[in-house]
Amino acid sequence: MALKTRALATVTGLSTLSAALAFAVPAASAETVPALPPPTGSRQVGMTSLYLKDTSRPDTWVPSVNARELMVSLWYPAKAHDGQRAPYMTSNESQALLKGSGITGVPGDVLSKTRTHAFRDALPVGRVRGMPLVVLSPGLAWQRSSLTSLAEDLASRGYVVAGIDHTYETHATTFPDGRVTTCVACTVPAEERAERAIRGRAADVSFVLDQLLGRHSKWKGSVLIDPSRIAMVGMSLGGGSVPETMLRDTRVRAGLNLDGPHRVAIPERGLQRPYMILGQARPDATWDRDWPHVTGWKRWLAVHGAIHSSFTDYDTLTQQIGVDQGSRLPGNRSVEITRAYVRAFMDLHLRHRPQPLLDKPSARHPEVTFEGRAPHP
């Protein structure tokens, strides 16, 4: 019988992995091969990785490193392909994540075996400037791969998706030359970390956009991206970084926060572009404080039964390997809900397609309630 754990917890409003509890899981889970739910769209999905280096600024967390290095995953519609599936994460990254979570009793590399649905380095296809771009920013200590199920689903429906590992803010990030960086930010006191991290992430996103959209793009499929249709989705610390990024970079036309407190306040001048919070059904003083300053289209939706990791792949994956975190969303339900509401938000604001799901509660998603004041028309 699986033991209940707080292995994936929230500390001071920022996503982190608690090593407080080590626990056993059923022996059968040692042979389990986790799998992400299939994408819901009709397009086949490709995935490739980019190494990017910003020589204009030192690293956010290690100032002696005189350039900011980033690893980025791109998911996109691809030509029919029967080649190698894209890896979920490396063995070293899996071991670091599980160790940081206090999870024992499963093979350390179990998450690296997770079955994905994207094909590695498949040929991108689509119309020139025909696809919106969604940038993903994960929670503190969590890799960009934590949002793979969301990325694959959006790509299967005609989006290009860029997931960023914010270097020294993950348990492990692997670079092409074999270097593995760890979470320096996790060692910084929370009160000192938040603003520094959020402003650093805003700079990371802008740099990634420069590299994808510039004349000498680092990705051969960049001609598919419509630079006028860009949005950002962040989870936890990444979610709290969305408003700051939107205020600093007007290319980001819409933003969605997955369960991330606002550790940097939205200024009184307000955030006028579309913004949505999708989070746990719990009070958050920072959301209450900033809600009046979101002056454009906005929604605040609560998912009852969700835990912090329900807005990533980790809720469904830990259930598959026999780890009970306390989620009341069984199986793939957390992924289904997150995908449905993120997709509706993107289709509304980047494709201008009406989305009744965002106008009122849905019988198909009874776990989701509308919070905050009445929705902005």
Beta strand pairing call for 118-120 and 368-370:
unpaired
Give the pLDDT of residue 232.
99
- Report, as an integer, the average pLDDT of 38-62: 98
Residues 311, 308: Cα–Cα separation, whole Å: 7
pLDDT tops 80 at residue 367: yes
Give the pLDDT of residue 104.
85
Note if the pTM is more than 0.85.
yes
- Report, as an integer, the average pLDDT of 278-301: 97
Share of the chain above pLDDT 90, in %: 85
DSSP per-residue string spanning 332-363: THHHHHHHHHHHHHHHHHHH----GGGTS--T
Give the pLDDT of residue 103.
86
Residues 318, 80: Cα–Cα separation, whole Å: 31
pLDDT per residue over 198-222, tens digit each? 999 999 999 999 999 998 999 999 9
CA atoms in the 13 A half-sphere facing the CB of 261 = 17
CA atoms in the 13 A half-sphere facing the CB of 341 = 33
pLDDT tops 80 at residue 294: yes
- What kind of fold does domain 8-370 have according to CATH? Rossmann fold (3.40.50)
